[in-house]
Structure formats: structure tokens, C-alpha cells
Structure 1
């Protein structure tokens, strides 16, 4: 018996529930890029960490800079309540997107994390923007 099979694989219904839940709270760089590329951006992309200067130097095209610490009920009133936000940060070593997702959910907002963040975006070979 290997380390892989030492613990039995989950039944299909458990796997379906698990991955459905993950996909309900996560998206990836490719899906974000493809949606924007096809003109099907039905979400607001938020760059949620760093200073305005860091954002100005390099960010994902179409993103809005809104630090997770600045997400308040008043600030979020700029968007309709049913807006889906996709949040990202520097990458897997950063928990800013997690903090932003938690803040938005506490405000009753729909949110997904773009897994990989800027590191994932770069790994896919997608271009960055600057101001």
C-alpha cells in the first residue's frame, strides 16, 4: 500500500461537494483573463494589498486598487449589493486576498479569490498594467 492509497479516496458525493465549494469561493488567473479577454467581465477585480504607488507600478489590467483594510460598508456602496468581487494579492505567500474575501463576506458581499494572485498571473504569461 502506498501513501496515496493508505487513506481511501472519498466517495463521489463527497468529492462533488468539496470541489463545488472550492469553485464557489475561488477562481483562477486563466478564467479571469479569459472572461476579460472575451468581454464577459461580470465581476469587479480588486487589487487588495499594497500602496497606491505599488499598484501604479504593476497591477492586473482592469483591476481597481482597494486595500482590504479600506473595505467598509460606506466604501462598498459604490457597487450594487449583488456585485461579485474577485480579489487578488501578491500571490500564494500573501494572505491579503483572504482578508479581503473575509471583509467582503462580512459586509454581505459576493466574493471569490483569484488563486495565485500576481504570481499566478505572471506564471500564465499574462501582461501587467501600470499607471
Structure 2
């Protein structure tokens, strides 16, 4: 038996449920940039969950800065609860986006996480705003 198939693949209906659930929690940089390029920003807000210094240096165009450490009922009361909040941080080695998405969800907001963070965004050649060329660090 191959290592690849040492554990049998899931039944198609189970795989469909699993992957549908995964997509309910994440968006990839390509889908997000295509929406931004097409001016399709209705229904969601991009949220940088790292510290303000990181947001100032490099961010996804149109993102707002809500550091996960500062998220409370008071600091999020101005947010529209009808929108989906797409959280991102530095990369897969940083979990600020996960922590931010968790806090927002606990506060009653609908959330998704951007796969790979701003590091994947930049690696794909997508545009950023900010004060310096990307030398991205966790900064959460």
C-alpha cells in the first residue's frame, strides 16, 4: 500500500461536507484580489489583525486595522453586523488572524480568514499600501 492511500480517502459526500465547511472559513488571495480589482467589495470588510505599526508599513488596499488584542464589544460596536469580516495577519506562521476571527465571532460577527496572510498576498504579486516595501513581520 502507498503512504498516500494508507488512510483511505473519505466518501465523496463526507469530502463534500468537509471542503464546503473549509471554504466557509477561508478565502484565498486570488479570489479576494479579483473582487477588489472588479470593485466588488460589497458584503465584506478586510481586517488587518496585527499591530498598527504593521498596518502602517504594508497592508491590503482597503483594509481596516483592528488589532486582535484590542477587540472588545466596545471597540467593535461601530462595525456593521450584516457584513463578513475577512481577517488576515502576516502568514501561516502567525495566528493573529485566527485570534481576531475568533474574537469577532465570539462578539457575534460573521468572519472568514485570508489564507496565507499578507505574505502570500505579496508573494502572488498583489498590490499593497503602506509606508515601506514589504519586509513583513508578525507584529501581532
Q: Same fold (TM over 0.5)?
A: yes
Moved over 4 A (4+): none
Counterpart CA distance in 2 for 1:120 and 1:8 is 31
Counterpart CA distance in 1 for 2:121 and 2:81 is 28
What is the 5 A alignment of 1:98-109? 98-109=98-109
1:19-56 CA-partner distances (Å, limit 9, x unpaired): 00000010011111111111111211011012x23311
Partner of 2:88: 88
Q: Does the residue aligned with 1:73 lie in a helix, a strand or coil?
A: coil
**Corresponding position: 1:120 with 2:120:** yes
Partner of 2:71: 71
Partner of 1:45: 46
Taking only aligned residues, the RMSD between alpha carbons, in angstroms, comes to 1.1
- Greater Cα offset, 33-42 or 70-79: 70-79
State the number of aligned residues.
Answer: 130
TM-score normalised by L of structure 1: 0.94
TM-score normalised by L of structure 2: 0.88
Partner of 1:30: 30
Q: Does the residue aligned with 1:91 lie in a helix, a strand or coil?
A: coil
Partner of 1:7: 7
> Structure 1 unaligned runs (5+)?
none
Counterpart CA distance in 2 for 1:81 and 1:57 is 28
1:56-79 CA-partner distances (Å, limit 9, x unpaired): 121111111110011111222212
